[in-house]
Structures are given as structure tokens and as C-alpha cells.
Amino acid sequence: MSAIQSSEADRALIDAFKADGWVLTEPFAPDTVAALTDWVAEVAAMDDRVLHHRERTDAGVQLCRTEDFVPHHDALARLLTEGRLPAIASILLGEPAVLYKEKINYKLAGGAGFSAHQDAPAYRFVDVHLSCLVAVDDTDLDNGCLEVVSGAHDRIHPMDERGCIRSDVVESFDWRPVPVRAGQVLWFDSRTPHRSGPNRSSRARRALYPTYNAARAGDLRDAYYERKRAEFAASGGARISLIGDFEGEVV
Ligand SMILES: O=C(O)CCC(=O)C(=O)O
């Protein structure tokens, strides 16, 4: 394994991440932040080459998630696999990182939230993953920002039958909403407990979520999507995740 050189600023980032299981960064130039909205709209308009998922809301049926778009969108492929994001992922992992999977959660006005969960039980093949939320829109409690628990990423917590964190454990946690501005990037460990409310506002709350693993464990992205597409097909397509964290009605 090749070690990653870290500066003093990197050290502070690593220390915060290790202690809390999450950390907020601002890695992009303004022109990149400005382009995010168009790039995400281009993916939303793609045909079923990508894995689109829709939900029924009071405002009608709308897109809630798209996955597996990196092979079909050059600018987003570069954003997620070259430059600052994989560099920060490598710093936080302490070794070179590779993209494991990617999704966009749209959470348009009226879109549903996510029950408290850890991502690790839904992720196959490797035990250690690192994800980030790249905010496309400003997010706050009104439009369903992420809420996290600090310092609880050392284990898999007891789960209910959906694969979400058991309700008594959820209630025992100290939940912290993390509002973020468009372009900010919230990194979290795949064992960091997180949840989010519905979008009760009239503003969209779109976010990109790339997930990385240590390159040493292999480039698993194709295998992940092959398995996921097979599991979705076997379940009749009525889910957006391999666990039951999504609180919306999938159509
Ligand atoms: O986008 C959100 O509000 C939460 C998403 C989430 O927790 C997930 O996709 O696992």
C-alpha cells in the first residue's frame, strides 16, 4: 500500500474525521459549483442506461435517485474519479482510493426522507467505505439536510428488519443536523449513523453521493452494479436501496 503524504491541514481533517466519523470540506472552485446543477439535470434527463428511481409524492411522481451514471457523463466522471474528491478520499482513508459507486438523491419538493441507518450493511465486497454528500443545492432542515451522529462509527449498531438502526438505539443518539451550502462536501464513514427528513420546502435538495474504497481492495464498481441490478431485478424494482432506509413510496 502506498502511504498518502499529509500536510498539517490534512492532519486536522483526518483527526476530525476519525473522532466524529464525518467532516465538512469546501474543495471546489466557483465554476465547478456553478456547473453542478446543469450536470445533474443532464443525468436526470438520461434514458434507462442509468438506474433511475422514482417516488410518488403529493406533487406527483418524481425522480428520487439515479445511480450508475459515471460511464455516461464525462464531466461528472472526472469530478468523481479525478482531482479533489478522490484526493480527499485518499487522505481520509490514508491510502489511494477508488470510486465504489455513485448516486444522485434529488429530494425534489415533497420528496421523502431516509430512516436512520448506516450504509455499510448495504455495501458489498469490502468492509471500509467512505462517502460524501456533494451539495448541488443549499440544504437545511426544511428541505431535508443530512443529520448525523458524531463518534458512533466504531461498530454496526443493532438493526430492525429493514436494515435500519433499531428505534431504541436511534432515540439514544444525539442527532446533529448538518446544513450545507451548494458546493460544500460532507464526508462520512459508511458506519456513521445518518438520516434525513422529507423536503417540506418548495426548493429542490439535490445531492451527489460518490462512495470510495481503498484501491488496494480492488476496483469493485462494475461488480457492485452488476450485483445491484440483479438484486433489484429479483425484487421487482420496488426499492431504491439494498436496505429499507427510504421512507418514500417507490413507483
Ligand atoms: O439524501 C438523503 O437525504 C439521505 C440519503 C441517504 O442516507 C442514503 O442515500 O443512504
- What values do phi and psi take at 18, rounded to 5? -65, -40
Ligand 1 contact via 194 beta carbon (within 6 Å): yes
3 CA → ligand 1 middle, Å: 31
Q: Hey, where are the domains in the chain?
A: 10-234
Q: Return the closest-CA partner of residue 212 out of 81, 67, 70, 25.
A: 81
Q: Look at residue 122 in the predicted model and tell me its pLDDT.
A: 85
Q: Return the closest-CA partner of residue 98 out of 222, 12, 221.
A: 221
Query: Residue 28, class by beta-carbon neighbours within 10 Å (0-12 exposed, 13-18 middle, 19+ buried)?
Result: buried
Q: Which of 22, 141, 146 to mutate to test the pocket of ligand 1 (most atoms within 8 A of CB)?
A: 146
Rounded to whole angstroms, how far apart are CA atoms 112 and 108? 9
Q: Is the pLDDT of residue 193 over 80?
A: yes
Residue nearest to atom 10 of ligand 1 (CA): 119
Say if residues 102 and 68 touch (Cβ distance below 8 Å): yes
Q: What is the pTM of this model?
A: 0.95
Q: Which atom of ligand 1 is nearest to the CA of 196?
A: 3
Q: How confident is the model at residue 126 (pLDDT cuts 50, 70, 90)?
A: confident
Say if residues 37 and 134 touch (Cβ distance below 8 Å): no
Rounded to whole angstroms, how far apart are CA atoms 13 and 234? 41
- Which tens digits make up the pLDDT trace of 13-61? 999 999 999 999 999 999 999 999 999 999 999 999 999 999 999 989 9
Say if residues 204 and 143 touch (Cβ distance below 8 Å): yes
The topology (CATH level 3) of 10-234 is Jelly Rolls (2.60.120)
Q: Which of 115, 147, 187, 209 to mutate to test the pocket of ligand 1 (most atoms within 8 A of CB)?
A: 209
Ligand 1 contact via 119 beta carbon (within 6 Å): yes
Q: Which of 29-33, 98-102, 127-131 is predicted with the least confidence, judged by mean pLDDT? A: 127-131
Q: Return the closest-CA partner of residue 179 out of 144, 225, 153, 227.
A: 144
Ligand 1 contact via 105 beta carbon (within 6 Å): yes
